[in-house]
Structure 1
Amino acid sequence: MAAARRYTKPICHTGLGLALILLAGCNTQPQRELITGSIPKPGAVSSMTLPELNRATDGAGRAYERNPKDKQAGLNYASLLRSTGRSAQALAVMQQVTIHHPNDREVLSAYGKAQAAAGQLEQALTTIVRAQTPDRPDWRLKSAEGAVLDQLGRANEARQRYREALDLQPNEPSVLSNLGMSYLLAKDLKTAENYMQQAAQQPGADSSVRQNLALAVGLQGRFSEAEAIATRELSPDQAQANLTYLRGMLAQQNAWKQLAAKP
């Protein structure tokens, strides 16, 4: 019997088909142990089979149904829904959670991410800015705001938010990678690669960060190097999934064949 394919967490696509990892729900911060039906620990999702992920999502859904007013149950369920690509359902859950917790920064941040994942960019920007407080700024919100601004085509503002996030959380790999993606969207591939290299070298860097670096390298025609990065420290199934994703992204940009034809 063939081994179950490992789940590769989807990355939020911008209009150009590129990735801004924070909007995908990537979070390198540790979380406490939660009750049955909770979201898996950071890093666990990418190592789960699809049936395992579906079971986790079903469990989180049952916990949410038992108490829709429970903040953590709603956040867990919405996060898992986004991880499986059910953005519209995740948004509906977060709308209900926000009704019960209208001034909670963690809830507003998750609501903004759900709006962005569902394509409601202007609404997401409003929600994320509302969640931020000048006296206690949150680097995650700064980076999330930057990712939305990038998707709205406001690159200079986006990069300013990423740099503000890095002032609050120096060398945070998800922010460095998002900053690199901002330059990738502008086709400044060398600058993009420099930031992504910095991100990948940080202790908290995950597979999403390495996939973005592989994409930047592949777009420059260095395919062997890109494939090595995409498959590093992964099981064979995960490595193959990442290669398929990488080649698909490059083909989407009409770049794989064009760059392969170059000497």
Structure 2
Amino acid sequence: MSRGYSFLSENRFLHAASIAAVVALALSGCTTQKKELTTGSIPSASFSKPVQSMNATELAGAAETVGKAYERNPNDRNAGLNYANVLKMTGRNQQALAVMQQVAIRFPTDREVLAAYGKSQAAAGQLEQALVTISRAQTPDRPDWKLKSAEGAILDQLGRASEARERYREALQIQPNEPTVLSNIGMSYLLNKDLKTAETYLRSAVEQPGADSSVRQNLALAIGLQGRFAEAEKIAKQELSPDQAEANLRYLRSIMSQQNAWQKLAKEDQGTN
């Protein structure tokens, strides 16, 4: 609900939780709207493993390979989508946005292209523009739950939690018990410092068929932010390569070391319940 953000001073830790949520997703190689590469444009023999399980060095090589395919034929829709996706996975959000701008110019009515363009805008910090693009991709007569969920994630980043959760509810009406949507709802509550409710939704998401590693990483974050690091560490290590697991754990430890922010947040939650 998978990776431009900075860490905060102690008196702004309410926002630190939201930044933690977004960055943790990037560390696990996903976002709340993780999208598999479009097939057909990348020679399967080029990679020895799925890009989602690659470390940083391997992803850089994958970006070079996919970039060459895009350079050979910039009018190839799938090549553009694939290249932008890998660029985002390597943190090169501005370059991914530039690629998607060109793809969107060539395919202005393609829903998948518009959706990917909107997500690239959001990743690059252009949140209001992303909402407009996502709205263009949506069709009222046949709404797409993925776009509803993506819109909710953007609204959450804008601090419009009630609107975001309405979009998630609409997504669940179309796709009941979808783990990525349940995960996004959990993260919405996490961003608003309601860690117990966040954990409830994330546990529900993890229990659904099809829940992937990104959902479990979000649950690990919610548990870790409550100070239960041993439990969070156990979850964070599941189904990740050693490099990815260690990257996530380093990030979680860095959050804990910031002026005991986790413990302070937990105590504040207890005082409000």
State the TM-score, normalized to the length of structure 1.
0.85
Distance across 2 between alignment mates of 1:175 and 1:253 = 32
Report how many residues are paired.
252
Q: In the alignment, which of 221, 224, 227 is matched to residue 221 of structure 1?
A: 227
Q: Is 1:26 matched with 2:34?
A: yes
Q: How does 1:236-255 map to 2 (within 5 A)?
A: 236-251=242-257, 254-255=260-261
Matches within 5 A, 1:176-187: 176-187=182-193
1:99-248 to 2 correspondences below 5 Å = 99-248=105-254
Report the counterpart of residue 36 of structure 1 in structure 2: 43
TM-superposed deviation, 1:73 = 0.6
2: CA distance, partners of 1:109 / 1:253: 39
Structure 1 250/168 Cα, relative in aligned 2: closer, same or farther at 3 Å?
farther
Closer, same or farther in 2 for the Cα pair 1:185/1:259, shift >3 Å? Answer: closer
- 1:38–1:76 contact (8 Å) kept in structure 2: no
Preserved CA contact (<8 Å) 2:42 2:66? no
Alignment-mate amino acid for residue 60 of structure 2: N
CA contact (8 A) 2:146 2:171 kept: yes
- More deviation, 236-245/81-90: 236-245
Does the 8 Å contact 1:25/1:82 carry over to 2?
no
Please say if residues 40 and 78 of structure 2, whose CA atoms lie closer than 8 Å, have aligned partners that are also in contact.
no
**Structure 2 CA distance for aligned equivalents of residues 180 and 253 of structure 1:** 25
**CA–CA distance in 2 between the matches of 1:40 and 1:161?**
37
Post-superposition offset of 1:258: 4.2
Q: Distance in 2 between matches of 1:117 and 1:40?
A: 25
| Structure having greater relative contact order (Cα 8 Å, sep ≥ 6) | 2
User: Counterpart of 1:178 in structure 2: which amino acid?
Assistant: N
- How far the C-alpha of 1:25 sits from its partner, in A, is 4.7
Deviates most, 147-156 or 195-204: 195-204
Q: Indicate if the aligned counterparts of 1:177 and 1:196 stay in contact, CA closer than 8 A.
A: yes
What are the superposed Cα offsets for residues 76-109 of structure 1, whole Å, 9 maximum, x if unpaired?
0000000000000000000000000001100000
CA-to-aligned-CA distance 1:9-53 (integer Å, 9 cap, x gap): 9628696313355856513x7954543289979x92332233321
- More off after superposition, 250-259 vs 163-172: 250-259
The CA distance in 1 between the partners of 2:182 and 2:142, in whole Å, is: 21
CA offset at residue 207 of structure 1? 2.0
Alignment gaps of 5+ in structure 2: 7-14, 269-273
What are the Cα deviations for residues 85-136 of structure 1, in whole angstroms up to 9, with x where unaligned?
0000000000000000001100000000000000000000000011100011
Does the 8 Å contact 1:108/1:131 carry over to 2?
yes
SS of alignment partner, residue 35 of structure 1: coil
Task: Report the counterpart of residue 75 of structure 1 in structure 2.
Answer: 81
Q: Distance in 2 between matches of 1:155 and 1:261?
A: 23
Give the % identical residues.
Answer: 64
Structure 1 position 254, deviation (Å): 5.0
CA distance in 1, matches of 2:113, 2:21: 23
Q: State the Cα distance separating 1:166 from its structure 2 match.
A: 1.2
Are the counterparts in 2 of residues 23 and 113 from structure 1 also a CA contact under 8 Å? no
TM-score by length of 2: 0.82
Specify which structure has the higher proportion of helix.
2
Cα distance in 1 between the residues matched to 2:209 and 2:56: 27
Q: Which residue of 2 aligns with 1:5?
A: none
1:197 to partner: Cα distance = 0.4
Distance 2:213 2:118 in 1: 23
